[in-house]
Amino acid sequence: MKRIVVLTGAGISAESGLKTFRDSDGLWEGYNIEDVATPEAWERDPALVQDFYNQRRRSVLEAEPNAAHYALAKLEAQYHVTIITQNIDDLHERAGSTNVVHLHGIITRSQSSVNANLTYPINGWELKMGKKCELGSQLRAHVVWFGEAVPMIETAAKICSEAELFILVGTSLAVYPAAGLINYVSHDVTKYIIDPNIPTVSNKRIVEMPYKATIGVPVLVDELIENAQ
Ligand code: APR
């Protein structure tokens, strides 16, 4: 089966009711990154950071996958699909995708604040201060903050280098190293970009689809499924 790699960002979950980061009314309009999404913020005011991610988790648990998530799951019937997502929600999994790499972690799990490899499921939306990992340190959200390493980046780069077809959905490509992943995809490979505001990429064989995810992704998936038969 042909290998399709899909790189997704906040835009794919926008129509599920989850805010993006950099659109007008995006999350970073209401919060300073330095206050809630860095190791320094956690040092300074862990309760504030915990609360920020508790709110994010609550929104994610209330959200449902949309037509774009479901369409990508459907693609697995005809293709070898790997989804690399920058999103910390679990909507790809809930839509049925079985091969999802979370570059920036996943909000439904907690993480030891002294060892990022120790992660645990969270029951419900609230991760309370005082809840500790097996080493006795406070649990935090399992998300990658600005200034932290992205442990999955090498795995993701290898996956991109093996892509035979590449789809980019709903990301401004403003954050590295994720934004650099498209450069690992071969110049010979067709790259579809689905986003009402197409990000700038310097690469060959780009097909621009300036549509919202719930419109663009199902159209492309239907076309790909038809062509596979
Ligand atoms: N369908 C498709 N794309 C959309 C939609 C939609 N309905 N609505 C918005 N978009 C697009 C925007 O045009 C923009 O290009 O989604 C993109 C959102 O960009 P960002 O808000 O920058 O989100 P993302 O690229 O995922 O951010 C990357 O930044 O703060 C960090 O860790 C966070 O993973 C996140 C990273």
- Domain layout of the chain by residue ranges: 1-17+65-104+150-229, 19-62+108-143
pLDDT for the residue numbered 203: 84
137 CA → ligand 1 middle, Å? 33
Please tell me the pTM assigned to this model: 0.97
Superfamily of domain 1-17+65-104+150-229 in the CATH hierarchy: TPP-binding domain (3.40.50.1220)
pLDDT for the residue numbered 151: 95
Degrees, nearest 5: CA angle 126-130-131? 60
Give yes or no: 142 in active site. no
Place of tokens 């097996």: 134
The 10s digit of each residue's pLDDT in 168-196 is 999 999 999 999 999 999 999 999 999 99
Residue 212 CA, closest ligand 1 atom number: 1
Q: Which helix (H) or strand (E) holds 53?
A: helix 46-62
CA distance 31 to 52: 9
CA distance 229 to 212: 26
CA distance 174 to 200: 10
**Which class for 47: exposed (0-12), middle (13-18), buried (19 or more C-beta within 10 A)?**
exposed
Number of alpha carbons in the 13 Å side-chain half-sphere of residue 41: 20
pLDDT for the residue numbered 202: 87
Place of tokens 């300073």: 32
Q: Please state at what angle helix 213-228 crosses helix 67-74, rounded to 10 degrees.
A: 20
3-state secondary structure at position 15: coil
**In DSSP terms, which residues pair with 166 in a beta bridge?**
5, 191
CA distance 89 to 1: 28
What's domain 19-62+108-143's architecture?
2-Layer Sandwich (3.30)
200 CA → ligand 1 middle, Å? 13
Question: If you take atom 10 of ligand 1, which residue's CA is the nearest one?
Answer: 11
Which stretches within 66-207 are classed as H helix?
A: 67-74, 91-95, 153-161
Which residue in the list 69, 92, 104, 142 is annotated as catalytic? 104
Listed as ranges, residues in the chain with pLDDT below 50 are none
Place of tokens 């199902």: 218
Degrees, nearest 5: CA angle 60-62-66? 75
pLDDT for the residue numbered 60: 98
CB 48 within 8 A of CB 37: no
